[in-house]
Chain A
Amino acid sequence: MNRFAIQRIGFAVLALAALVVVSPIVLVIATIVVRGISAINWEFLTAIPREGMKAGGIFPAIVGTVILTLGTALVAIPVGVGGAVYLAEYARDTAFTRAIRLAIVNLAGIPSIVYGLFGLGLFVLFLQLGTSIVAGSLTLAIMTLPVVISTAEEALRAVPTEFRTVSASVGGTQWQGIWHVVLPQAMPGIITGIILGLLRAAGETAPILFTVAAFYLPRIPRSAFDQTMALPYHLYVISTQVPGMPEQIQYGTALVLLAVTLSMNGVATAIRSVFRRRREW
């Protein structure tokens, strides 16, 4: 067999591998959409669960996930973007900076359930915040930090040096240059990173298991120190903990969760691609 024939077969094998990787993704999404779409109606999205969650809607879980995601954003955005500004604009290549980078890599690699343990140990018990939205949001925020920092730093570094030089040449201080010139230029990339981080937080179950998630709480949380239901945990509960659960409600819940995360993913991708086309440098 000549080597060009080998190449053709080889390329076909590679294409097949790619197909094996992506086709189950399409299958998962299609299955959940097809089986879940019939459950979606106004009541399902806006009513509280009834009859041991076997009827009614999933409104408290949707609200809970929105609140937790906003709570996460409140902490992760300032700390994450600030950290990225430090790494991209201020930090020299010292042992300390390398330690920060090492910490980020490790935060990114810590299993989500270990974040859950940490949140339980520090926020719920030691700081006595109880199983609460505050404890859950703080736990999720720390988990989200590495994503926000890495993408925001990349966006800041992509802004050409000339922008900083020009700002300095008209008498701006370093911070003025960052605030008025560099950050606005890097903003689309930073926002993309924030959304990608929050998307992960919105879909996570393990970190909220012991820090905030309520098994069944058919109302809207009353304060930041209240527990709340959340979509990912609710899906776990109704698919493993409640016998005789109608499949339609399970798939409907999965579909809502999938729609939330995929639409966030879509927004992030859209911002990135629009920005890449418009960018003039």
Chain B
Amino acid sequence: MPERAGGTSGFRGTEFAVEAVIKVLGSSTIGFVLLIFVFLLREGVPVFLEVSPVNLVSTRWYPTFDLFGVGPLVLGSALVTATAIVIAVPLGVCTAVFVREVAPSWAREVLKPLIEVLAGIPSVVLGFFGMTVLAPIVRETLGAPTGLTAFTGALILAYMSLPTIVTVAEDALDAVPKSYRDAGLAMGATEWQTIWRVVVPAARSGIVTAVMLGMGRAIGETMAVMMVTGNAARMPLTLDSLFRPIRTMTATIAAEMGEVANGSVHYHALFGIGIVLFVVTFIINLTAASAIFSKRRRGGLR
């Protein structure tokens, strides 16, 4: 191999170094996910040794008396999230269909930025609005002693997951080829029939992804939920539970971590809840991602 001029080998050296650095930066995300999981395990796993399994799955969360039953917290999160999704999915999918398929361009120009604005409103601001404006309305409508209920939390959560659901569902509709729509219309179907019998079914997997991502968003939401759900750690087993105060997993961590001694059983228990949240959102995102990855990417130098 002929000897290279100094300048060229300098180039090659730079090129090599830069590529190495870029590769490290590119892989850093894997490292961060692992690091997060390792530290959750490190601080959370001791709780499974310190507290009996029977206690952990019991129905009472009362750390002062060494009762660490996550039942009410898990069910609280489940109730609020499920209700939020029931509210948000029809609204979100209909809005996505409206924006992509029906709306005149001026309406689209108004709707899309507004939905983006909603995504940018800090959760603590929505929680504050929920406390001061929404909760009194809920209280008076229900005639309940308090407006800080699971339902109030679900309403706020529904709106917090809407930007995700609308945007992802709209992308899914956007990916349906125009020829599908043309074929539907050419068969004599109305636009309405084409939308629901051709376009939406074709975008199904993307819409499912949208719902999954919205659900992940709702389960993990902390501040707004903590501010409007009343934070009572009781099992939501009766029919009226939706309209009574409740406590979620996220709110429990946020409310109690500031007051526990590092390394105490209670501290480990809160990290244990963190492990549960991590695993649940991991599974949800994995499911959602499998749909994303099956979609072909375009553009770029390959």
B299-A175 in contact (CB<8A): no
B254-A15 in contact (CB<8A): no
Interface of chain B residues 92 through 127 with chain A (CB within 8 A): 92, 94-95, 97-99, 102-103, 107, 110-111, 113-118, 120-127
Q: How many inter-chain residue pairs (CB < 8 Å) link A and B?
A: 287
Asked whether A83 is an interface residue with its Cβ less than 8 Å from the other chain, the reply is: yes
Asked whether A209 is an interface residue with its Cβ less than 8 Å from the other chain, the reply is: yes
Task: Tell me which of A4, A17, A90, A174 contacts B94 (CB under 8 A).
Answer: A17
Knowing A17-B94, A22-B111, A175-B18, the reply to whether A114 touches B122 (Cβ < 8 A) is no
Chain B, residues 200-226, CB within 8 Å of chain A (1/0): the string is 000000000000010011011111000
Asked whether B66 is an interface residue with its Cβ less than 8 Å from the other chain, the reply is: no
Asked whether B262 is an interface residue with its Cβ less than 8 Å from the other chain, the reply is: yes
Task: Tell me which of B25, B36, B39, B298 contacts A82 (CB under 8 A).
Answer: B25
B36-A114 in contact (CB<8A): yes
Q: Interface residues of B, CB < 8 Å — how many?
A: 96
Q: A28–B114 Cα gap in the complex (Å)?
A: 12
Asked whether B284 is an interface residue with its Cβ less than 8 Å from the other chain, the reply is: yes
Binds B, one of A48-56, A66-74, A155-163, A216-224: A155-163
| Nearest CB of A to B26, in Å | 3
Chain A, residues 168-196, CB within 8 Å of chain B (1/0): the string is 00000111000000000000000000001
Please, which residues of chain B bring their CB within 8 A of the CB of A25? 114-115, 117-118, 121, 159
Asked whether B6 is an interface residue with its Cβ less than 8 Å from the other chain, the reply is: no
Asked whether A206 is an interface residue with its Cβ less than 8 Å from the other chain, the reply is: yes
Q: A131–B108 Cα gap in the complex (Å)?
A: 45
A109-B262 in contact (CB<8A): no
A254-B36 in contact (CB<8A): no
Q: A187–B144 Cα gap in the complex (Å)?
A: 54
Q: Interface residues of A, CB < 8 Å — how many?
A: 98
A203-B125 in contact (CB<8A): yes
Please, which residues of chain B bring their CB within 8 A of the CB of A174? 15, 19
Please, which residues of chain B bring their CB within 8 A of the CB of A87? 26
Knowing A104-B29, A257-B122, the reply to whether A111 touches B213 (Cβ < 8 A) is no
B122-A261 in contact (CB<8A): yes
B122-A106 in contact (CB<8A): no
Please, which residues of chain B bring their CB within 8 A of the CB of A58? none
A103-B32 in contact (CB<8A): yes
Please, which residues of chain B bring their CB within 8 A of the CB of A104? 29
A17-B32 in contact (CB<8A): no
Please, which residues of chain A bring their CB within 8 A of the CB of B103? 15, 18
Which of B29, B120, B270, B285 has the most chain A CB atoms inside 10 A of its CB? B29
Asked whether B33 is an interface residue with its Cβ less than 8 Å from the other chain, the reply is: yes
Asked whether B264 is an interface residue with its Cβ less than 8 Å from the other chain, the reply is: no
Q: Residues on B close to A: CB < 8 A?
A: 11, 14-15, 18-19, 21-23, 25-30, 32-33, 35-36, 39-40, 42-43, 90-92, 94-95, 97-99, 102-103, 107, 110-111, 113-118, 120-129, 131-133, 159, 162, 166, 190-193, 213, 216-217, 219-223, 227, 250, 253-254, 257-258, 262, 270-271, 274, 277-278, 281-282, 284-286, 288-289, 292-293, 297-302
